[in-house]
Structure 1
Amino acid sequence: MAKENDVELVSVSKLYGTTRAVDSIDLRIRGGQYCCLLGPSGCGKSSTLRMIAGHEAVSDGDILIAHRRVNDDPPARRGTAMMFQSYALFPHLDTLDNVAFSLKMQGVPKAERRRRAMEMLDLVSMADYAARVPAQLSGGQQQRVALARALMTRPSVLLLDEPLSALDPFLRGRMRAELRRIQRELGIVFIHVTHSQEEAMALADLAVVMKDGRIVQAGPPREIFNRPATAFVAQFMGGHNVMTQGGRTVTLRSDAIRLSRGDADAHRRATVRDVEYQGPQVHVALATETGEDMAAILPERTYFADPFAPGDAVALHWAPEDLHHVAAEV
C-alpha cells in the first residue's frame, strides 16, 4: 500500500459548544485501505468524516493526509472528495454533464471534461446512460453517477457518508460489491461511514467502532468480530452473547452454541422464547434459568432435524475455547 496516501488523525476532537462529539481520537489509515467508521447514532463517526473532508473545523488535534497537516486547508486543497448520503445531482443536467460539472467550474475545455467524465462513467458501468437526466435513473444508478462525479477530481481519499442507506437490500448488496471493486481498481483510500455492521464487514480492510465520540476498537473486521474488545463491541457487532462466567464477562458467538433436549454436560439450561427462520440458518431466542437472554444460531438442516418450539426446555453446550473474555463496560 502506498504510504504517501496515509490518513492520520492525532488526538482529534470536535466540540459543539460544550458537547464533545469527538473525543481525542487517534487513527491511522494506510494508503489503499478501505476504512469503515461504524457505531450507533451520535457516536461521532460523521463528525470525524466531515473534519477529514474540511467541512467541519477541528477543535483540537491534527489531521494529516499524505504526511501533510491539512487542518487549515479548504476541502479543495486536501486531495479528498466526498460523496454525500443525498446524491444532490443537478436535475436539469444529463448524466455526462453532472459528472463533468466540477471540471467545468475549473475551466477545463468541454471536450476534455466530457472525455474524462466518460472514463468515470465507464468505471461505474454507467456509460450507456450518459444522456439521461437524474429523473430517468433508478436510485442505484443515481448513486453510481454521484460516485463518478466525486471521483472526477482524482482524489487520493474518497469520503462516503452512509452512501448505501437509501437503497433497498438487493441494491445495497450489489453496490457494496461495486464500491469494493472500484476501490481496488483505483487503489485509493476510501473512508466510509455506516451504522451497518454487515456493510462494514463486507467492505472494510480496517473497521473502526466508535462510541460516545471515542474509538473503542479498530482492526480487520474478522478480528473485531471474533475478538471484541468490550461487551459493547460484541453487542454492537451482533451474533454474540454477553454473559458472566466464573465471575468474568465473556462473549460467546451465537453460532457456537449447540442445543439439546437432555441435561447431560449442559453449560446452561434455558427455555426457548422464539424461533426465527432466516433461510440458511435459524435464530433461536433463549431465556436461561439464571435470567440471561441468549441466542443460538443453528444451520437450517440441523434445526429441522429436531426442531424446537417456544416453551421447550433445552440445554446449552459450547466448547470452552469459544468463550472470549472482554471488558465489562457497555
Structure 2
Amino acid sequence: MQSLAADLELAAVTKAYGDTTAVDRVSLKIPAGTYCCLLGPSGCGKSSTLRMIAGHEFISDGDVMIGNTIVNDLPPAKRGTAMMFQNYALFPHLSVRENVAFSLKMAGTPKAERLSRAEEMLSLVDMGRYGDRLPAQLSGGQQQRVALARALVTNPTVLLLDEPLSALDPFLRIRMRAELKRYQRDFGISFIHVTHSQEEAMALADMVVVMNDGRIEQVGSPREIFNQPKTRFVAQFMGGHNVVSDAGRAYAVRADKVRLLGTVSSDETSSQRATVTDVEYQGMTVHVAMRRSDGTDLLATLAEHEFDRAPVSVGDEVQVGWHASDRHELAA
C-alpha cells in the first residue's frame, strides 16, 4: 500500500501560551519522503511544533502547508497526517485488529473493508498472527508495531511520531530504530519524529532539525549537524565536541580529535596544559575529562590501545593539542 507523499512547510509558525512563547516563528520545509527528526532538550518547542502540524494545538501565528494546502483550520482527520503517540494510546478493551481498524470505523468505512485493511497493515508490520490479542498481552515492541499499523492504516501523507521509542528498553530501542527506518522507506512518505536523543536522530534521520528555546538552531543531515555545528548550543548539545576560545573566537573540536601529547609537532596547534578530572572506560574507547587553568573543560576520546600506551589518572597534569584543521569555527 503506497501513500501519496507531499512536502510539508512551516512558515513563521508561532505558538504562545499567554505570555510564554513555546515556538517562535519557526520556518522549515520538509521534502516529501524525508525522515526528519526534531531534536532538542525538554521545553525547546519540538513537541508543540509536532502537535501544531497534527492539528492538536492551535497555531498562534504563521501557516502549516501540506502539499499545496494550508491546513491551519482543518481538523486532524482532514490533514492527511497520522500521529503515533509516546505511550502508543492503544485501547485496552479492543483487540489488536480492532485497534488498527478504529480510525477507519470512525471514518465510516464498512466493517469488512476496515478489518481487511487492518489485517493488511498488521501483516506489513509482522503482527498478523496477533490480531485477536489484547494490547496487555503484547510486549512493548509489539505494541509499538500495532500503534504504527494503526497510524499507517489511514494512508497518510505524513506520519508524526512523538518520542515513539522512549518507553522501550535500550536493546529493543535499537532494533525498532531499524524497523522504523525500513517502514519509512517502504511507504515513501515523510516521518517527522520528535526526540531528545542525539543518537536516535543520528541513526534515523535524513534531516535533523535542532531546536532550542522555541527556535531552530540548525538544519542539516546528521553528518553536517555533528561535524559542522553552527552554534555553541549545537556543538554542546550534540555531544562529543569541545568548545574552546581562541583570540575572541569560539571553536568546536571533536573529542576524538583531541590528543594527549608529549611534544607538539609543527602541524598541531599550540599545546595547552590541563588537569585530568575523570577517566571513564567505555570498552573500545576511554574518555579523559580535563580542565584548563582558565576553567575550560575538555574531553578527549581515545582508542583503548592509544590510552594504554600512555595511561593517565585523575589529578595528572597533561599536555593537550589538536590539528588546526580539526577546529570548526562557530557563529558568534
Match of 1:278 among 269, 278, 282: 282
Q: Which residue of 2 aligns with 1:225?
A: 226
Q: Which residue of 1 aligns with 2:171?
A: 170
Query: Structure 1 residues 324, 254: closer, same or farther in 2, change over 3 A?
Result: same
Kept in 1, the 8 Å contact 2:260–2:320? The answer is yes
| Distance in 1 (alpha carbons) for counterparts of 2:34 and 2:231 | 25
Query: Structure 1 residues 304, 132: closer, same or farther in 2, change over 3 A?
Result: farther
| Distance in 2 (alpha carbons) for counterparts of 1:94 and 1:101 | 10
Q: Does 1:308 align with 2:309?
A: no
Given residue 167 of structure 1, which amino acid in structure 2 is its aligned partner? L
Q: Does 1:207 align with 2:208?
A: yes
Q: What is the CA deviation profile of residues 257-283 of structure 1, one whole-angstrom value per residue up to 9, with x for unaligned ones?
A: 1113x2545521112111111122111
Q: Does 1:323 align with 2:327?
A: yes
Kept in 2, the 8 Å contact 1:3–1:66? The answer is no
Match of 1:299 among 295, 299, 303: 303
| Distance in 2 (alpha carbons) for counterparts of 1:300 and 1:174 | 27
| Distance in 1 (alpha carbons) for counterparts of 2:304 and 2:29 | 41
Q: Does 1:14 align with 2:15?
A: yes
Q: What is the CA deviation profile of residues 76-107 of structure 1, one whole-angstrom value per residue up to 9, with x for unaligned ones?
A: 11000001111111112221111111112223
Query: Within 5 A, what are the aligned runs for 1:176-195?
Result: 176-195=177-196
Secondary structure at 2:244 match in 1: strand
Kept in 2, the 8 Å contact 1:253–1:322? The answer is yes
TM-score with structure 2 setting the length: 0.95
Cα RMSD for the two superposed structures: 1.5
**Deviation (angstroms), 1:4:** 6.2
Secondary structure at 1:5 match in 2: coil
Q: Does 1:84 align with 2:85?
A: yes
Q: How many pairs are equivalent? A: 326
Q: 5+ residue gaps in structure 1?
A: none
Kept in 1, the 8 Å contact 2:12–2:61? The answer is yes
Query: Within 5 A, what are the aligned runs for 1:28-39?
Result: 28-39=29-40
Kept in 2, the 8 Å contact 1:263–1:269? The answer is no
Which of structure 1's runs of 4+ aligned residues deviate more than 3 A?
Answer: 263-266
Q: Which residue of 1 aligns with 2:64?
A: 63
TM-score with structure 1 setting the length: 0.95
| Distance in 2 (alpha carbons) for counterparts of 1:222 and 1:31 | 21
Given residue 234 of structure 2, which amino acid in structure 1 is its aligned partner? V
Secondary structure at 1:222 match in 2: helix
**Deviation (angstroms), 1:309:** 1.5
Given residue 277 of structure 1, which amino acid in structure 2 is its aligned partner? Y
Percent identical residues = 65
